[in-house]
Amino acid sequence: MNERFEKLANQLLEKNDQLSYGQARAWVEGMWEDFEATYAKAGRSYKGQEVTEQIVQNWIQQYGPTLHEFASKNEKFAHLLKDDHLKH
């Protein structure tokens, strides 16, 4: 699982140079958990890590370049922009 998160965090860093590695990793883990929780709440059967990884990759492609802007405007995600993360 750690390898998947690392791979996805690196993909996000390629799309958004405003994030540190720690911030990218937090975003990836958050998106992963959010997708799986939302999918489960909707009563859908679990499709596996491969499907979740593909969804997160799609979100990175679509939203990755501007995630830092979204977080700065939304209190729920503002903690993801704190400077206590390591810069890549």
**Is 74 part of a structural domain of the chain?**
yes
> Residue 87 has what pLDDT?
46
Residues 6+ apart with CB under 8 A from 74: none
**Is 87 part of a structural domain of the chain?**
no
Low-confidence ranges of the chain (pLDDT < 50): 85-88
> Residue 78 has what pLDDT?
59
> Residue 64 has what pLDDT?
92
**Is 88 part of a structural domain of the chain?**
no
**The tokens of 84 are what?**
């206590």
pTM of the model: 0.79
Percent of the chain residues topping a pLDDT of 90:
49
Q: How many domains does the chain have?
A: 1
As a whole number of angstroms, the distance between CA 55 and CA 38 comes to: 12
